[in-house]
Amino acid sequence: MAYTFTSTQNYGNIDAAVLVDTSTSLAGITGRLVYFRLADGTYLKPTGTTTNYVVWPIASNTLTVEDLLDKDYALDISVVWFTGSTITTTTTVLTPFTAYTELFLRQLTQYQAANPKLLSNSNFFSNKAKLRTLVNDCEQAVSFLNDQTAAQYCLDSCKELTDNTSTFF
């Protein structure tokens, strides 16, 4: 029995994480819990949640967790499957959520298209390239190294750049 899931971020609702249970069978499973662990070991929780976990109703294969992502994160997402009160299994997947930076990069491209001279501006081009490189480095830290700390460092560096738009212009 394989208990698996996927997680994504919808660009139309970037504060939400969307999980899909891709398990081969849920026969006998009576419950699921989801934990979103940050690189510092604490838990990210949706606004208003007091527990370190979110209940994933067994009746639905898809769970959308609203008001979770206030910036880009590399999260260790753990899903715990239960049979009665006994843990059947736990699966953890390191997932990069990068929509905030990706949308910022898209805006920079729109500015660039409207003002082609921006490509000659060394601050604009080097900082845009730095931002793209940091996103790529985050994704590599996840996919090749399974290194949450390195991935989050890259995303925190992205946030510093996107919070200081004057560095681009």
- Of 63, 96, 129, the residue that ends a domain is 96
- Of 96, 115, 132, the residue that ends a domain is 96
- Of 96, 122, 150, the residue that ends a domain is 96
Question: What CATH number corresponds to the domain at position 69?
Answer: 2.60.40.10
Question: Is residue 110 domain-shared with residue 89, that is, in the same domain?
Answer: no
Mean per-residue pLDDT over the chain, rounded: 96
- Give the pLDDT score at 169: 83
CA dist., res. 30 & res. 50, Å (int) = 22
Length of the chain as a residue count: 169
CA dist., res. 123 & res. 84, Å (int) = 58
What lies within 8 Å, CB to CB, of 43 at 6+ separation is 35, 36, 37, 52, 53
Question: Is residue 58 domain-shared with residue 25, that is, in the same domain?
Answer: yes
Question: Is residue 161 domain-shared with residue 133, that is, in the same domain?
Answer: yes
Average pLDDT along the chain, 169 residues, taken 10 residues at a time: 93 96 94 98 96 97 97 98 96 98 97 92 93 98 98 98 92
Pick from 117, 129, 124, 120: nearest CA to 158: 129
User: How many domains, the chain?
Assistant: 2
Pick from 141, 45, 155: nearest CA to 99: 155
Question: Is residue 24 domain-shared with residue 76, that is, in the same domain?
Answer: yes
Question: Is residue 18 domain-shared with residue 90, that is, in the same domain?
Answer: yes
Pick from 52, 129, 138, 42: nearest CA to 99: 138
- Give the pLDDT score at 15: 97
Question: Is residue 78 domain-shared with residue 108, that is, in the same domain?
Answer: no
Is 74 in contact with 27 (CB distance < 8 Å)? no
Question: Is residue 14 domain-shared with residue 88, that is, in the same domain?
Answer: yes
Question: Is residue 35 domain-shared with residue 72, that is, in the same domain?
Answer: yes
Question: Is residue 67 domain-shared with residue 105, that is, in the same domain?
Answer: no
- Give the pLDDT score at 1: 72
Q: Is 10 left (phi over 0), alpha (psi -120 to 50) or beta?
A: beta
3-state helix, strand, coil split of the chain in percent (to 5) is 35, 30, 30
Question: Is residue 52 domain-shared with residue 121, that is, in the same domain?
Answer: no
Which pTM was predicted?
A: 0.94
Range of the domain at 142: 98-167
CA dist., res. 160 & res. 169, Å (int) = 15
- Give the pLDDT score at 119: 86
Question: Is residue 88 domain-shared with residue 117, that is, in the same domain?
Answer: no
